[in-house]
Amino acid sequence: MHLPRNSFIKNILVFIIAATGLAGCGSSQQLSPSGKLSAETTQATLWVQHAAEYDAITTGAYQAAVRRLPALLADSSVTAVTEQVKKYKSLPPAVILDVDETVLDNSPYQARMIRQHKTFDLEAWTRWVREAQAKPIAGALEFTQYAADHGVSVFYVTNRSHQVEAATYKNLKAAGFPLVEGKDMILTKGERDDWTSDKSTRRAYVAKNYRVIMQFGDNLNDFVDTSGRSEHERDRVIQQYEDYWGNRWFALPNPNYGSWEQALYGKEKNLDAEHKLKIKSDKLETKEQPVSSEQ
């Protein structure tokens, strides 16, 4: 069947973006301009659920952390948070981990959204969290148990709402993650007035009483606040803290969603699906040679 040139190009762009496995912001699915669900997160979700390579990456990150832990415990001058108080050398050690896609795998929720041809839905997300059946990310359980066995307090700093903290506790506890009875080890968004989506205040809260020796997350904001920063500025943060990565900071892969996507859009907000798709296609780097005027 012959398609008009504009329709053909538009369909090709939709296919290219879908094939990259890029995801919607904030765990969302994007609808294609035709109104049908694009495959942006289908490839990513299948990779998380079925690729041995995904488990290899996360297991490797956590095993590297296990190997680093003794040295960080021995060196009281080390801290892994920029919010750490000045006098921290005598404080007991702690580690901070994000929850979603760092210690718990929410790909079944993503799969549900794909199957139902839906965008991110807060009600559906809340139902999923309250089911408390997310499985551990490969390597996370072994690391946190190892840390706890070596006298390290394990804190979970998550942007899940404080309204689902009980369900989050139930899920982590059932999976076997270390938690201290009667002590708040899960620090959720909105639990206190100044605990916003910016995790800085919660990192500072932990750092008042503990020497934080490691951080884990799937988002740059899990380590240091980069809200509103451009792609270039985010790259500079990686360079600024290059000695931290794989040493005190351990990043886990998340091909489904993250603050990186908003950085693609720059300062533009509330974009519709077609506009986002256009920006993504423009951002693809093909390194094609310019066409010579002599040809």
Mean pLDDT per block of 10 residues along the chain (295 residues) reads: 39 36 39 49 94 98 98 97 93 98 97 86 95 98 98 98 98 98 97 97 97 98 93 95 98 92 84 85 83 60
Eight-class DSSP state of 265: H
Q: What is the reported pLDDT for 162?
A: 97
CA dist., res. 111 & res. 224, Å (int): 30
Q: Please give the model's pTM, rounded to 2 decimal places.
A: 0.85
Q: Which two tokens stand for residue 1?
A: 């069947």
Question: What is the rounded CA–CA span in Å between residue 185 and residue 151?
Answer: 15
Give the whole-angstrom CA distance, residue 144 versus residue 98: 12
DSSP string, 24-76: -GGGPPPBPTTSSBPSTTHHHHHHHHH-HHHHHHHHHHHHHHHHHHHHHHH-T
Q: Which helix (H) or strand (E) holds 276?
A: helix 273-283
Token code pair at residue 124: 């559906």
Adjacency order of strands within the sheet including 153-161? 186-189, 153-161, 93-97, 211-217, 249-251
pLDDT at residue number 292:
62
Domain boundary assignment for the chain: 59-105+136-265
φ/ψ (deg, to 5) at 14: -60, -45
- What letter would DSSP give residue 37? B
Six token digits for residue 60: 């490797």
Residue with tokens 């423009």: 282
Phi and psi at residue 142, in whole multiples of 5°? -65, -40
| Residue-level pLDDT at 290 | 66
In sign, the C-alpha dihedral spanning 204, 206, 212, 218 is: negative
Residue type, 80: A
Burial of 248 (0-12, 13-18, 19+ CB in 10 A): buried
**Exposure string over 199-213, b if 16+ CB within 10 A, otherwise e:** bbebbebbbeebbbb
Domain 59-105+136-265 has CATH 3.30.420.40: no
The helix or strand, by DSSP H or E, that contains position 261, with its residue range, turns out to be helix 259-265
